[in-house]
Structures are given as C-alpha cells and as structure tokens.
Amino acid sequence: MEFFALDLETTGLDPRKDEILEIAWVRFLEGRPRERFQTLVRVAFLPKEVEVLTGISPERLRRAPPLPEVLPGVLGRLAGKVVVAHNAPFDRAFLQHAAARLGLELPEIHWVDTLAISRAIWPERESHALPALREVLGLEDREAHRALPDAEATGYLFLEELAAFPYLPEPTRAFILRGVPPPARELLAAGRKEGGREKTVLEEVFSLLSRKIPGFQLRKAQLGYAAWVERALREGGVYLLEAGPGTGKTYGYLVPLLLAPEGRAVISTRTKALQDQLWHRDLPALREALRADVRVALLKGFDNYLCPWALEREGGLFSGPLRKRIRECLSEVENPEVGELYKILGFDPEARALVERIRARPHRCLGRECPFLSRCPPRRARRSAQEAEIVVVNHSLLVADFLAGGGILGEYEVLIADEAHSLPKAFEEGLTRSISPADVAALLEEIEAMLPQLVPRRELRGVWAELRRLRERLHALLPDEPAPYSRREGLRFLSAAQELIWKLVALKGALEEGLSALEGEEKGMASGEIAALENLVSEMEYVLAAEGEEVFWSEKDPDIRFYATPLEFGDRLATDFWGRIRAAILTSATLSVGGRVDFLVRELGLGNAIHRVFPAQEKERRGRVFLLEFFPGPNEGGYVSALARLLSELRERFRRKIMVLFTSRKMLRAVRERLPQEGVISQLDWGDAAQAVEAFRAMDAPAILLGLDSLWEGVDFPGEELEILVVARLPFPNPADPLIKAKEERLRAQGLDPFRALYLPRAVLKLAQGVGRLLRTPEDRGAVIVADPRIVARPYGEVFRAKLTLPTRTVGDLEELLFALEEVFS
C-alpha cells in the first residue's frame, strides 16, 4: 500500500495572493516512511509573524530555489498518487493557484483530507488540529509548523485512521467513503496490505500501538501469540501458550481481550507485583491507545485493604499529625490498601503491629452494623469487580473464589492465567488446611486487644498456660524435619491438644455469656471473634485427627504447624472449575519440560489442552550461564566449603551484588557460617522474605543475599541490584518431603516413573524461574552460575540446559570461570 503525505508552509491563508514558502512530502509504503522530500521556496515577502511561527529566516529563503524550479518536479511526483494532507482543500488550493501562475496544469491527484476523517472518527476530541493530534499519536513535537515533520505526522495520522476504520459504525464508514476518491476508498475499505496479502486486524492494531505507546516495539512472535489468544477467545477451550522472554505476552493477551471481549473475563497472576503492573501501567496504556470502552477492576484479598472503622477505633495509637497524614493519603485512594499505609509508617515491627490492628479481617467485619459500611474498601472493591467486564486478581484470590463457589468474583466465561506455571502450587496451598500454636496465640492477642471489657481474665490465663505446655509437648513429639503422620499418630497429637481445646471452648462460652450485655458495634465485634474462635477449634480437631483423605503432615522449623493437603485435585478441578469456564488461556515462560506439558495437565486436571510455544526473542542479551563441571557434587562432603570459597572470591574479585538460591535451610545455614558477617544477608535471619529483599536492595555492592524457596520466583532485581546469580544445586524436590513422598507412591501405583513424571518437571521449571531473576530489563547484564555439576555430568542435564534461554558455557576450573566473568563485566 502506497500513499504520499504532503504539507505546505505559506506566507498567508489566501492562495490567490499568498505564496508557498516550504513544500514537503513523505512517501509511505506498507505502513512506513520510505522516501522524504523537503525544500524551502524563495518568496517576495516574508511576514514577521510567519517568520516567528516557522523559525524560517529571510536570509535562508533568499538562498532557496524559486517556485518555477521546484513546483514542476513536485507535481510530477504526486501525479496520479493518493495524497493525504491535513486540511487538504487548503494545500490543494495553494498548489492549484501556484501552478496557474506558472502556466502549469495541476495533474490528477487523489486527495484525502485527514482532518475531515479525524472529525468523523473521533467527534469527541476537543481539537483536531495537527499539534493536538501529534500528542495523541505520541509523536515528538519537534520543529512545529515546519513542512517535513508535519507531513510525516499527517501520514501517521492516516495510518491510525486506516486502523480505526474497520471498527466504525456502518453509517460513519459510508460517510467517510463518500468523501474520498476511489483509490483511497479502496484503501479504507480493503485495509492495508503487506507482502501481497491483506493485513489482519491484529497487525493493524499492533502497528498502531507501535506509534502510540512510547517504547513499544512490534514483535513477530507477539503477533503470533496474540492470534492464538484471539482464537482461544473466539473458539473456547483450554490453551497453554508458552512465551519465552521478550515475546511481549502481556500485550499479546490484553489486546485481543480489549478488542473483542468474549464474555466476562478474569486475569489472574501469581504475584501482586504483576497484578499491580497490569492495573497501573499496561491496562491504562492500552485502553487509552485502543480507546477501549471496557469496564475493568482490580481485586485483592479481603485483608489487603484497610478497615476505616478499625482506623477510627485505633486512632489513639497514632499521633495527631500522623493520623492526619494517614487520612489525607487514604482519602486520595478509592479502596485504600495496606501497602499505602506501609509507605507512611515503614516496615519496622511496631509499624507492622499497628497495620495488623487496622487491616480488614473477615471475622472482624461488622457488616451492616458498621458505620463505615458505605466506605468499606474491601466491599467496594468486590462490588466493582463483580460489575466489571475484566477483573485483575492473583492466583490466591482465584482459588479462594473457587472455594467460595464463585461468591467473590461472580460468574465469568474467560480466564487468562499469567505465570500459570504456579497454578498447581496455588491450588495446593489454597486447598490445604493448617493449624499452628502461633494461630492460637495470634487470636488470643486479638481477643485481648479487641474485647478488653468482655474477656474473662481467669479463663484467658488458663488458655495461655495450656498453650505454652502444648508447645513444649509438641517440640518433644515432632521430628526435626517435615514428616507425615498417620491416623494413630494424629490421635496422639489430638490427645496432647485436648486440654487446650477444652479451655478454648470454655473461653468461647464465657464470651458468649457476656454477648447479651453488648449492643451495636461492640456486639458485632465480639460475635466475629467468637466465630473465629469456633473456626480455629474446628480446624484444630480436623487437622490433628487425620481422618480425611488428605496427606497429613507436620513441620517444626521455623515454627510448629500441622497440615492437611489434598494429594490430587485434578479431578475436582476438571468438573468444578474448568467445566464452568468457556475459554482458558494459561501462559508463562515456563510451562513445558522437554516440549511436553503432561505434568501441568495432570496436576490441574486439564484434559484436552492445546499447547503452543513462542520462543524467546533472539536479541543480544548481556548475560551468560556458566555450568561448573569441576565443582564437587552437592551431596559430597566438601561442597559447602567449596561454595563458600566461591562466593567469597566472586564478592572480592568483582565487587557486585550476588544472590544465591538454595533448596534447603540446612545448606544455607552451613554456607552462612563460613561467610563474613558484613555484607551478607540470609533470608533465615530476617524471617520475612520481603524484608530480606528490601534490605538487600538498600545495600551497596558488594553484597550477598542467601535465599530459599520464595526467592526462586516473583522477585525482580533490575540493573545493578543483581548481577551474579548462583544456583547452589538443581532444585529437585526433597524426596523426604511428605507431599512428594505421597505423590511418588501414587505415581508408582499408576505405573508412572516418579522421576520423569514428578521430580524432573518440577526441578526444570523451578530452575528456569530462578534463572529468570537475572536480566529483568534489556539493559541489564550479568551471569548465572550453576554450581551443581550434575547439569553437565548426568543424562537428564540436557533437559535442564534446553530450558535455559541464555547462552551457556561449561567451565573446567575456577580460573576459567573468573576469566569468563571478566569478559561479561568488561
């Protein structure tokens, strides 16, 4: 497809007496500028206001060629062509009168007026002047009122009009077609063509986005990905779309969803960080660029929001100025979240305790008795979500809605699960029931704080004393490592906890006796605490008794906790979850192992699913993966010392920030003991992974972060925040893990090889996620070091290596590694 975009600068507005002082045209071919022409024209007189407006001086015009030398060539080049101009009648009139003065005949030109089309397509725009439209298009406003940049902007405006034309109402399309000549009419009616074929709507739209969104670049793989999303939305079914780094999958699924919503949709992510990115950055940019009139909403779990009633009740905990600052901050947000308060208070233990007191909790909700009901953030957020056409949630909330029978999100037809590799873990965690002495202590502290007048002190002291005794008994009874327990062992645990259960029931009864003396808010609050106490006792009895079909297991480190986890839930999901969703798109950079998705299909009960892979974009990525062939094996005696020496050498030699990913607490502790105290952060020392990450971010290089399971995915360290990533060992599941052991037995009973069906897929996907913590932006550089020689020495190492998207190099000794790293950071 070809057209010319033309712009003239003139000495005035009357073509009969004013002159042309600049001419420019840009030839567009297949949607891109291919040829440019620009010239000044000598004029008899340059008005001062035109000189100021254009920046063209009389001196420059005196050196310019006269119109007789310029105009014949311009008219010859434009003859018979489609020429677009903004306010085309103006340019046409000036060319016509200029040609007449020279005794020339104006050739046949197929004129298109982008101003008239703009007014027809976007009548709601306040201004259709070219400077205003430049801003909409995201074009630089350079050299305003000069012919060449204005001509180029006019050409891009026409491309936008071409892209918008197919979506217009029929009367509007007919009106526009009547106003343009046949050649241009064919362009509008048939769409642009590329490579001898007609462009698809998606190609048109993505071309438009490349002009409207700063920094956006159209990628071939992204178009292919988006086409499959479009097919999934149209035809329904389950689609596993694996998109390597650089594919642009976020826009790849958002664009088709915004263009042609096929029923109410939920977008679910693993991390709240991606959820916030979608909500605050990607969706607003695309809705503006596509002019998509689609209702969208963001929804998080109930306890992510603040409770206005609790803030009012606990107001005495804050100073007057701080209370005022909090209210001012929260008044600016429709549904204030806990994160907004942390920005004000910080993350120290005292601030965290304050936040916990004013965080919204379901059992503390007064419902209709609450004086702040109309302003309740979690209720308002949920109402907005249920009314929206697209809702952005996280996997935890998606699972919670499933358990609530759809009562949180309401019915929806389309699910897009980003970071879908973590869906099995999300469902496993969501379906797990657990109880801990720490849960009991937290509820007792809450009851003391919330109901000081109602709490019977004698009963409460008895509960606390029995809780301490139970902790001591359980420490003696439980093994040091996580372990399953049988029905018989569960009855032993239940017997140990029976006295505590009776005392909790007695406390509940005492609270119920005092309930009749309360009314209004106090009664509602007390009822909520009583319900929480009843639920806690019920969970304790169920989980400790070990009567169900779940895997019952316990752990003692970092705290005592008992679990009841379903061994398999695929069949349940197949009937109760996937069966009510018309179209499901599960996407991630890591879905398959060895090109197969059997593991994910089995875990999630997907049945028939279509799998497509979109490889990582081939770009020069400033990173390498080094495989340490010379290193001792992770189960050999000298491994811990060798790893500690390597980390010390890397730190001193390169003076950069390093993260080490471990799979066991024991190994992390052993390595930590061999490293200096300064400049090293252990996740175990901080307890909370988020705090350890923030502390590491705040440190200057050189620094080392030792991390466990929660840091293998979901955290970003762009730029110099992380330049060396060390994988301590291949992340195979622990065969002693109670859940892994139970799954292994089940797979053997089904005639499957547990290593191929369970251990290898989990390890490969987790390694790919861990390596993804490095190089988060195109400008990043860095190195990944896999300090486990099995990735080279064992046959299954090939499966791991095939999943790595960065160039790999096997190194035979420490000197070779250090020399190679010098090249990376040179």
Residue 2 forms beta bridges with which residues? Answer: 29
- Round to the nearest angstrom and report the end-to-end CA distance of the chain: 47
Letter string b/e over residues 572-584, b meaning 16 or more CB atoms within 10 A of that residue's CB: ebeeebbeebebb
- Residue 350: count other Cβ atoms within 10 Å of its Cβ: 10
Token pair recorded at residue 288: 């503006």
- Secondary structure class of 17 (helix, strand, coil): coil
Q: Which is the catalytic residue, given 86, 97, 145, 395? A: 145
Helix axes 249-259, 201-212, angle to 10 degrees: 120
Sign of CA dihedral 594, 597, 599, 600: positive
C-beta of residue 70 within 8 angstroms of C-beta of residue 23:
yes
- Residue 542: count other Cβ atoms within 10 Å of its Cβ: 19
Which amino acid, 375? R
- Secondary structure class of 811 (helix, strand, coil): strand
String of DSSP letters for 318-350: S-HHHHHHHHHHHHTSSS-BHHHHHHHH-SSHH
- Secondary structure class of 484 (helix, strand, coil): strand
By DSSP bridging, strand 724-727 and strand 781-786 are parallel
The CA angle 730-659-682, to the nearest 5 degrees, is: 100
C-beta of residue 647 within 8 angstroms of C-beta of residue 671:
yes
Q: What distance in Å separates the CA atoms of residue 762 and residue 754, rounded to the nearest whole number?
A: 11
Q: What distance in Å separates the CA atoms of residue 54 and residue 114, rounded to the nearest whole number?
A: 22
Which amino acid, 510? A
| Token pair 């990533």 in the structure block, residue | 725
Longest dimension (CA), the chain: 111
Q: What distance in Å separates the CA atoms of residue 458 and residue 462, rounded to the nearest whole number?
A: 6
Nearest of 106, 107, 130, 101 to residue 118 by alpha carbon: 130
| Token pair 């088709």 in the structure block, residue | 256
Residue 280 is a catalytic residue: no
Q: Strands across the sheet with 583-588, in order?
A: 296-298, 390-394, 265-269, 414-417, 583-588, 237-243, 609-614
C-beta of residue 359 within 8 angstroms of C-beta of residue 338:
yes
Which amino acid, 192? R
- Secondary structure class of 468 (helix, strand, coil): helix
C-beta of residue 398 within 8 angstroms of C-beta of residue 429:
no
String of DSSP letters for 19-31: -EEEEEEEEEETT
Q: Report residue 335: phi and psi, to 5°.
A: -125, 80
C-beta of residue 659 within 8 angstroms of C-beta of residue 725:
yes
Sign of CA dihedral 564, 569, 575, 579: positive
C-beta of residue 137 within 8 angstroms of C-beta of residue 160:
yes
- Secondary structure class of 400 (helix, strand, coil): helix
Phi-psi region of 662 (alpha: psi -120 to 50; beta: other; left: phi over 0): beta
Q: What distance in Å separates the CA atoms of residue 329 and residue 315, rounded to the nearest whole number?
A: 15
Q: Report residue 614: phi and psi, to 5°.
A: -120, 105
Q: Which residues are catalytic?
A: 145
